[in-house]
Chain A
Amino acid sequence: MKCQFTVFRFDPAADESPRYQEYRVDAEPTDKILDCLNKIRWEQDPTLAFRASCSHGICGSDALTINGHVGLACQKLVRDYKTANNFVIEPLPLFKVIKDLVVDMNPFLEKHRSVKPYLINDEPPPEGERIQSQKDQTVIEPALRCILCASCTASCPISRSNPDYVGPAALLRAFRYVYDSRDTATGSRLAGLDGNDGAWGCKTMWWCTDVCPKGIPVTRCIGQIKRAIKQKDKKP
């Protein structure tokens, strides 16, 4: 079927302001949105810039705004959209556009780094594995699905209004280490998250959870960080 693609274009070297360009694409209902963008680039307009790699929702490169909703271009199919053959493709909100659909992810990554996203445990490890119960491993399982696509943070209304807010993706990573039974820095992690730019910045708007392409209950995980902070405060 013939589809109409209205695509956000901006080349800082040539354009004073962003514009929208129309393309007609012959697509199957089962084609991914990414397939359509590839067709545009390969057959009609090689100058269209976007990121993509694995093409099946695991590398996290191609989060975009598709018909006003954030999603992965390689995970959304033409048939998923009620508007059937009309698509408006724009970059992720919140981030600065580098060119067309490519945005600057550095601020996102800085926030990721700020939560110390690595296991902290200064005790010498045993020769074999550390023992961890199935239950303890399962607690952090939702966060392990994260692919750093930035869909959640880009969609978060708080992130849009408070540039210092660490954002849902970084909080999800913080959750992964706060609740990892092998991590020994829980106290200092929670202290770092205890503020309006940290966990309390989240006003449970649920947008992050709605858009997550991996079905992660992001808001609930942030809620668990808040609960841990409160429980810590109760202790003498």
Chain B
Amino acid sequence: MKHHYDVIIIGAGLAGLRAAIELGEETKVAVISKVFATRSHSGAAQGGIGAALGNEEEDSWEWHMFDTVKGSDYLGDQDSIEIMTQDAPRTIYELEHIGVPFNRTAEGKIAQRAFGGHTSGFGKAAVKRACFAADRTGRVILDTLWEKSLQRGIRFFDEFHILSLIVQDHQCCGVTAYEIATGEIHVFHCKAVLLATGGAGKIFKTTSNALASTGDGMAVAYRAGAPLEDMEFVQFHPTGIYKLGILISEAARGEGGILRNNEGERFMERYAPTIKDLAPRDMVSRCILEEIRAGRGIDGKDYVHLDLTHLGQEVNDSKLAEITGFARTYAGVEPNKEPIPVQPTCHYMMGGIASNADGQVVLDSQGSTFAGLYTAGECACVSVHGANRLGCNSLLDTLVFGRRSGKEIRKFIHSIGLPPIAEDVAQQEKEKLQILMDRPGDENYGAVLAEMQAVMMDKVSVFRTQASLKEALEKIRELQQRFTRVSVGDRGNCFNRELLDVLELDNMLDLAEVIAAGALFREESRGAHFREDFPTRDDNKFLVHTLAGYRPEKEPQIFTKPVTITRFQPQERKY
């Protein structure tokens, strides 16, 4: 089936929906998502969204900007960070106006709480900057934006999986997608495509991410010639529930929760004397693993305790209701009385499709753009998070840059007509899928997936070395070879989950290779990327963004582009 639209948005999380709302009234826009919109992973965001409203204590967007730059270990582009932090208060008011039910202060203003790495006075003390709705902030914003888009009459294609971008004469003019309920291939012919497909945490064994977080948008863009930027920077959130990886929000520490080792010691005091447990995530994750390495994990195992017992039932059961529920259900502990067992869990991709602050996909270090192709949210790299994202900046990123992408797309589509596309696009995709379905396979999809997740966790997570990364790359290439022998046993056309699993695995294998290759290239330690063989930051050689270009049947081509530095010169990063 063939469809004609002005704009196709892939992904129905916050970035995609915010862009759709921006475009909805005067353009023909459709949102394609492999899960029903409110199942999108934005809904799992718990703790809050950052903006210097100053409702609880003095704050300024310049402090927010400084914190974000410092949090990024000076790799974030400061022009984009300035745009984001300056636009943050307006973004929050806009959400409030369309109905987001934020918690309130005694005066009825939007309530705010402390979060990791957010400070006043350029690093002097922790500040309350996170706007929140209990610990379900992402969920209520997602619901509100989705309902707003229903009001706007935006067309949704739910449970459609993206297969490829349609690119003609270096211009993106559509996508092909697989309808999960029928197996039919659809061609969406349009003037502009926005990729807003979120992250790819499922590449790692332990993750807070959803089953759907498989980086599909990043992978299709990469294969269509868009470079991926800074993919080696993968955030491990310090507090995932032991063994399960389910997120326990930083809001738990923002409300006063404390990390303790097997001696009951508040060990973060030693590592970050000023802001202690509210140090940024990259640091806290490394500190937890250092404690475990030093034999101070609980019961000699690879986890520590997150202690909320002193916060009181009132706080735990209202402001932290979801996460204390998770602790009860999944860890079997009563957080009012016992500490929660936690360990770092793969949480967020700082890297993504290289883009500028207007959502345009960028091809090279000169800033040339990919006509008709846009991206926003976690699958994009603007870059506002650099080497390490601060808590509460991801939701902000999706909304600020989702909106800006929408505005830029509107300008673009008014300037062009619908470009022609080849007649046989659907047929080509059909043949590719048929080959996948028909190939005689002696490899098991589940085994290849599990081995990829294991090697990425063992060799490419918080601590990395040249040797571990080389081993990982070798293993990933072996798995890519084995993948060509994975077959699909399910012959059906209706909810053929196995086929989708295989398509997702193909995407993840490409991304895993880029992550490991970038990490091997970057011989320094910065933010979430820590090389034990190069334990310090090297601004002379590596104050640059890594770009990875796709080469069929070859390893990715790694090149770099400069970091934009405006207000804050790189300094040593201490908390």
Contacts and interface: CB of A to CB of B under 8 A. Distances in A.
A58 B323 CA distance: 11
Contacts of A41: 497-498
B256 interface: no
Given A59-B38, A130-B96, A100 B495 contact: yes
A47 B43 CA distance: 28
B257 interface: no
Contacts of B415: none
Given A99-B495, A134-B108, A144-B101, A58 B139 contact: yes
Contact of B210 (A13, A48, A59, A140): A59
Interface in B244-287: 244, 246
Contacts of B143: 148
Interface stretch (A82-90, A121-129, A203-211, A223-231): A121-129
Contacts of A137: 101-104
A75 B497 CA distance: 21
A125 B38 CA distance: 26
Given A58-B322, A140-B101, A147-B139, A11 B494 contact: yes
Contacts of B97: 125, 129-130
A131 interface: yes
Contacts of A105: 36
B407 interface: no
Contacts of A183: 99
B44 interface: yes
Contact of B494 (A99, A127, A128): A99
Interface residues of B, number: 61
A75 B36 CA distance: 19
Nearest to A128: B93
Interface in A102-159: 102, 105, 113, 116-119, 125, 127-134, 137, 140-141, 144-145, 147-148
B545 interface: no
A49 B99 contact: no
Interface string A188-199: 000000000000
Contact of A54 (B43, B92, B99, B488): B43
Interface string B470-501: 00000000000000000011101111111001
B422 interface: no
Contact of B150 (A61, A100, A117, A134): A117
Nearest to A100: B495
B181 to A, nearest CB: 6
B130 to A, nearest CB: 15
Given A46-B490, A54-B39, A127 B93 contact: yes
A118 B99 contact: yes
B20 to A, nearest CB: 14
A53 interface: yes
Contacts of B452: none
Given A54-B43, A56-B326, A43 B446 contact: yes
A129 B136 contact: no
B44 A144 contact: no
A47 B496 CA distance: 7
Contacts of B493: 13
Contacts of A160: none
Given A55-B211, A59-B35, A133-B108, A98 B489 contact: no
A144 B150 contact: no
A32 B330 CA distance: 9
A220 B498 CA distance: 42
A32 to B, nearest CB: 8
A113 B147 CA distance: 8
A43 to B, nearest CB: 7
Contact of A46 (B144, B181, B497): B497
B35 A61 contact: yes
B498 A47 contact: yes
B418 interface: no
Contacts of B416: none
B93 A144 contact: no
A46 B246 CA distance: 25
B1 interface: no
A130 B40 CA distance: 28
Interface of A: 11-14, 30, 32, 41-43, 46-61, 75, 77, 98-100, 102, 105, 113, 116-119, 125, 127-134, 137, 140-141, 144-145, 147-148, 176, 180, 182-183
**8 A-B pairs closest in CB distance:** A119-B99, A46-B498, A49-B495, A131-B108, A125-B97, A42-B446, A59-B39, A53-B210
26 contacts: A11-B494, A41-B497, A42-B445, A46-B488, A48-B497, A53-B210, A58-B43, A58-B322, A59-B41, A59-B210, A60-B38, A61-B36, A75-B329, A98-B494, A102-B495, A118-B150, A119-B144, A125-B93, A127-B93, A129-B97, A130-B97, A133-B108, A134-B103, A137-B101, A137-B102, A180-B101
Given A32-B330, A46-B489, A46-B490, 6 more contacts: A11-B492, A61-B39, A75-B329, A113-B150, A117-B150, A144-B133
